[in-house]
């Protein structure tokens, strides 16, 4: 394999994302909620975790899910971004990323109907009700709710900007509020927010506008786009996004980072499966054909050789890795310096995902990385 300074020529190429981010290579840490925050604030443990990722050689870190309001939180250890103290705790990490040529992007999240019922005050927002399903605490959004949500996203983006961020990412995948509006599975509305792909995208477009206004264009806005619900014809699919992607580009976003699956189909993302990988590859390539924006791929990329192959095939402009960089923070540096053989490989067993819903755990661990070793008492089949 390659020596220092050679090998992985496409991965090594810098790329600009929007007006504010210059990335030194094509690999980024895709958002991964490890649940180490306290009271919604970044902690020393969390800082240490991201320091490891920043120092490992990737070009950008996307900080997982920052809840934009107290009524939309999920995990106790999740980040929040609706009070000054949240921004104050975030600032040192954003500064650290900047100093180490690894910009930190803040992902903004409204959990919608997948939030926490108790914290939501009994009103988890959704575009519509799912026929035949009991959905306790779910409330169909009114136009006034949409206005409030746009303001919440705008305020959260302003707090991110105050913390020094030059870019935010909207979580519009995995069945949370923005993606639930985009998908025909969860959005059965017939008003201005539903009925066609473009109308289903209206809330996302209004949120983008609200952020641009609140930050006076001072932060780049990327979108984590759920391109496939993995429900076949019943759900979101790349073909349904053919008008939506150009509309997002016209709205001025800086990049599209693709994701797939929703709560009902999340098992597809647990373990590496060639069929799911192929669906992702075809889907992301299709999205890339619809736009001149940089497009990111994420899903089961376990090595820089695989990232290079995805770039070479023209599937995406950037490759996100979550689990592989969790398993070995130094994967990028090791590989670029000719030491790919010493990478501590992710098993893609999905156990870190399982930690998130394990009632006996309040954070995420890894099977192969001693720094984040799961307690021996916790075993999965």
- 124-129 — which CB contacts under 8 Å span 24+ positions? 124/72, 125/72, 125/149, 125/177, 126/177, 126/180, 126/186, 127/180, 127/181, 127/186, 127/187, 127/188, 127/189, 127/193, 127/194, 127/200, 127/203, 128/186, 128/187, 128/188, 128/189, 128/194, 129/188
Asked whether the beta carbons of 167 and 103 are under 8 A apart, the reply is yes
Can you say how many angstroms the Cα of residue 102 is from the centroid of all Cα atoms in its chain? 17
User: Could you give the CA distance from residue 220 to residue 280 in angstroms, rounded to a whole number?
Assistant: 25
Q: Could you say whether residue 224 binds ligand FMN (CB under 6 A)?
A: yes
Q: Could you say whether residue 29 binds ligand SF4 (CB under 6 A)?
A: no
Cβ closest to ligand FMN, residue 119 vs residue 139: 119
Chosen residue from 54, 74, 348, 356 binding ligand SF4 by CB under 6 A:
348
Cβ closest to ligand SF4, residue 163 vs residue 366: 366
Indicate the DSSP class of residue 194. S
Q: Could you say whether residue 52 binds ligand SF4 (CB under 6 A)?
A: no
Chosen residue from 17, 46, 54, 64 binding ligand FMN by CB under 6 A:
64
Asked whether the beta carbons of 355 and 364 are under 8 A apart, the reply is yes
Contact positions with ligand SF4 (CB under 6 A) in 277-336 = 323, 326-327
Cβ closest to ligand SF4, residue 28 vs residue 326: 326
CA distance to 80, 238, 306, 317, per residue, from 313 (Å): 38, 18, 11, 10
Q: Is 48 exposed, middle or buried (0-12, 13-18, 19+ CB in 10 A)?
A: exposed
Q: Which does 183 bind (CB under 5 to 8 A by kind): ligand FMN, ligand SF4, none?
A: none
Chosen residue from 75, 89, 166, 356 binding ligand FMN by CB under 6 A:
356
Q: Is 119 exposed, middle or buried (0-12, 13-18, 19+ CB in 10 A)?
A: middle
Give the list of residues 6+ apart from residue 232 with CB closer than 8 angstroms, or none: none
Q: Which does 128 bind (CB under 5 to 8 A by kind): ligand SF4, ligand FMN, none?
A: none
Q: Which positions from 110 to 149 touch ligand FMN by CB under 6 A, shown as an x/- string?
A: ----------------------------------------
Q: Could you say whether residue 363 binds ligand FMN (CB under 6 A)?
A: no
Smallest gap from Cβ 5 to ligand FMN, in A, equals 26
Cβ closest to ligand FMN, residue 66 vs residue 187: 66
User: Could you give the CA distance from residue 27 to residue 317 in angstroms, rounded to a whole number?
Assistant: 9
Chosen residue from 187, 301, 329, 335 binding ligand FMN by CB under 6 A:
301
Smallest gap from Cβ 70 to ligand FMN, in A, equals 18
Q: Could you say whether residue 31 binds ligand FMN (CB under 6 A)?
A: yes
Q: Which does 140 bind (CB under 5 to 8 A by kind): ligand FMN, ligand SF4, none?
A: none
CA distance from start to end of the chain: 36
Structure tokens of 161?
């900007």
Positions touching ligand FMN (CB under 6 A) are 30-33, 64-65, 107, 171, 173, 224, 259, 269, 298-301, 321-324, 352-353, 356, 364
Positions touching ligand SF4 (CB under 6 A) are 323, 326-327, 346-352, 366-368
């Amino acid at each position: 394999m390659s020596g220092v300074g050679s090998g992985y020529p496409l991965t090594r190429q810098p790329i600009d994302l929007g007006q504010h981010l210059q990335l030194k290579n094509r690999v980024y840490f895709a958002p991964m909620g490890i649940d180490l925050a306290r009271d919604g604030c970044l902690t020393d443990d969390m800082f240490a975790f991201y320091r490891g990722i920043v120092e490992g050689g990737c070009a950008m870190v996307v900080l997982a899910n920052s809840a934009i309001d107290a009524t939309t939180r999920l995990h106790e250890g999740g980040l929040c971004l609706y009070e000054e103290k949240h921004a104050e705790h975030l600032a040192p990490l954003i500064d650290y990323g900047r100093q180490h040529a690894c910009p930190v992007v803040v992902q903004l999240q409204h959990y919608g109907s997948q939030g926490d019922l108790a914290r939501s005050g009994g009103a988890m927002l959704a575009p519509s009700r799912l026929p035949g399903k009991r959905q306790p605490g779910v409330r169909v959004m009114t136009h006034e709710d949409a206005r409030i949500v746009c303001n919440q996203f705008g305020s959260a983006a302003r707090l991110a900007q105050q913390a020094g961020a030059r870019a935010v990412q909207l979580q519009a995948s995995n069945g949370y509020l923005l993606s639930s509006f985009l998908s025909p599975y969860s959005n059965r509305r017939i008003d201005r927010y539903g009925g066609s792909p473009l109308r289903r995208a209206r809330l996302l477009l209004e949120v983008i506008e609200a952020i641009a206004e609140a930050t006076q264009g001072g932060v780049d806005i990327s979108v984590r786009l759920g391109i496939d619900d993995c429900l076949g014809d019943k759900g979101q699919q790349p073909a349904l996004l053919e008008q939506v992607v150009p509309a997002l580009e016209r709205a001025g976003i800086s990049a599209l980072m693709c994701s797939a699956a929703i709560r009902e189909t999340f098992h597809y993302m647990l373990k590496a499966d060639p069929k799911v990988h192929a669906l992702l590859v075809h889907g992301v390539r299709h999205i890339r054909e619809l736009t001149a924006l940089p497009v990111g791929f994420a899903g089961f990329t376990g090595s820089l050789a695989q990232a290079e192959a995805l770039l070479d095939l023209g599937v995406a402009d950037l490759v996100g890795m979550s689990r592989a960089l969790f398993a070995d923070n130094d994967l990028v540096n090791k590989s670029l310096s000719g030491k790919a053989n010493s990478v501590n490989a992710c098993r893609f067993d999905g156990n870190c995902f399982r930690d998130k819903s394990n009632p006996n755990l309040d954070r995420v661990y890894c099977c192969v990385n001693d720094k984040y070793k799961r307690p021996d008492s916790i075993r999965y089949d």
